[in-house]
Amino acid sequence: MSISEFGGRAAFDSETTRLLGEAFEAAWRKAETCDRPAAKEAQTAAARELLARRIIELGTRGERNHDRLVDGALDYLARSSAHAGS
């Protein structure tokens, strides 16, 4: 699964698509290493989708800094998970 599957109406040039894809993969690697119990397949798919959608949203707003894309997506995932757990 690649980030382009979540793109919706967003259109990016090839360099930006590559950058967003790399940020997504880096964010997912970090998310996987969190000290949490193994997620069920549906939860994993939902988490990946949240990360991808947030990175695309940030990219649509003009963000191109890899670290800010990754951190922004992970922060969003953490807030979403905390909200879902309350």
Would 3 be classed as within a structural domain?
no
pTM of the model: 0.79
Would 52 be classed as within a structural domain?
yes
Would 4 be classed as within a structural domain?
no
DSSP assignment of the chain equals --GGGG-TT----HHHHHHHHHHHHHHHHHHHTSSSPPPPHHHHHHHHHHHHHHHHHHHHTT---HHHHHHHHHHHHHHHHHHHH-
Would 2 be classed as within a structural domain?
no
Q: Which of 41-45, 65-69, 77-81 shows the lowest mean pLDDT across its residues?
A: 41-45
Would 38 be classed as within a structural domain?
yes
Would 7 be classed as within a structural domain?
no
Q: How many domains does the chain have?
A: 1
Q: Could you tell me the pLDDT band of residue 21, with boundaries at 50, 70 and 90?
A: very high
Q: Which domain holds residue 66?
A: 13-85
